[in-house]
Amino acid sequence: MAISGVLRPGYVQLRVLDMKEALQHYRDRIGLDVVATGDDGRVYLKTYDEFDHHSIILRPADDAGMDYLGFKVASEDVLDGFRDKLIRAGLEVIDVPAGEQPRLGRRVAFIAPTGHRIELYATIERADNSPMTTNPDLWHAEPRGMKPIRFDHCLIYGDDIDGAAEVFTDILGFSLTEQVLTPDGTKVAIFLSCSTKAHDIALVRFEGKNKLHHCSFLLESWNDIGHAADIMTRYNMSVDIGPTRHGITRGQTIYFFDPSGNRNEVFCGGYAFYPDNPVRTWHTEEVGKAIFYYERALNDRFMTVVT
């Protein structure tokens, strides 16, 4: 299928309490490359296999969490079309000029009904160390740390996930791939895709707005998940749960925390999604198996700790 409109998640800006500790975590332990540091203290990073200049932005702050999540769209004309649709839907649009982040073009931002700031953009320059394209080797230099392939998705928590779902599906063209329903049919979790992935963003119903559950990085294989677990144990990193597997999306996973308390995930696998696929539905009485397929039970920390 030809992907048009929204192409994929592009970047996330995270607030961190101590930049030295954060860099040790994201650069040395996870294995991201630092590509730029701004005059305002923000640090820009990417994985070894991403073409774009950056995908992770770390901003020094007094509280942890997510400032915004950006999605790349197919062209500047598509960006203008989405801007018009968002305005017609009654959403406040924020225009961010090119250059507010290094080598990134103009952005169109809006506040989702869950309180999260979502950004759209079409233009970003390639990183100097982007993957080879002519007779390409696998990488320029051996991947470090947990060897992430890409920044993959975020799970966000907020109150009005129904309103957010309408924005993502009706305006931005995402598809609902999977959901968790209460006995009365209330959606408590939704998984949305703009591509052939099982999800590009996920939302869970939560009292309050604008909370981050986790940002996730794709690894190549189950063996790499095990290698990531070895790193977490060697350096006494704070682990939430795993290695394990999801019933939802079928991904193999570990959840862990950065030094500021932001939850990260490394995962691999998961099913391929196509727009003609039916929605997969889980009921809340099976939510333990849905989230942690092997354990078939949730831990309280996973459901309640957000930033």
Q: Evaluate whether 127 touches 24 at the Cβ level (below 8 Å).
A: no
Annotated catalytic, 213?
no
Annotated catalytic, 100?
no
Distance (Å, rounded) from C-alpha 210 to C-alpha 111? Answer: 9
Distance (Å, rounded) from C-alpha 19 to C-alpha 132? Answer: 30
Instruction: Give the active site residue among 53, 54, 153, 213.
Output: 153
Instruction: Give the active site residue among 50, 119, 178, 265.
Output: 265
Annotated catalytic, 255?
yes
Backbone angles phi, psi at 225, to 5 degrees: -60, -45
Structural tokens at position 88: 């017609």
Q: Evaluate whether 140 touches 50 at the Cβ level (below 8 Å).
A: no
Identify the three-state secondary structure at position 234. helix
Instruction: Give the active site residue among 140, 255, 271, 293.
Output: 255
Annotated catalytic, 199?
yes
Instruction: Give the active site residue among 25, 54, 116, 214.
Output: 214
Order of strands across the sheet that contains 117-121: 33-37, 43-46, 56-60, 6-16, 65-73, 117-121, 107-111, 93-96
Annotated catalytic, 53?
no
Instruction: Give the active site residue among 53, 116, 213, 246.
Output: 246
Per the omega criterion (within 30 degrees of 0), is the bond before 136 cis? Answer: no
DSSP string, 155-215: EEEES-HHHHHHIIIIIT--EEEEEEE-TT--EEEEEEESSSSS-SEEEEE-SSSSEEEEE
Beta strands at 43-46 and 93-96: parallel, antiparallel or unpaired: unpaired
Instruction: Give the active site residue among 199, 274, 293, 295.
Output: 199
Annotated catalytic, 214?
yes
The sign of the torsion formed by the CA atoms of 202, 55, 275, 291 equals negative
Q: Evaluate whether 254 touches 229 at the Cβ level (below 8 Å).
A: yes
Active-site positions?
Answer: 153, 199, 214, 246, 255, 265
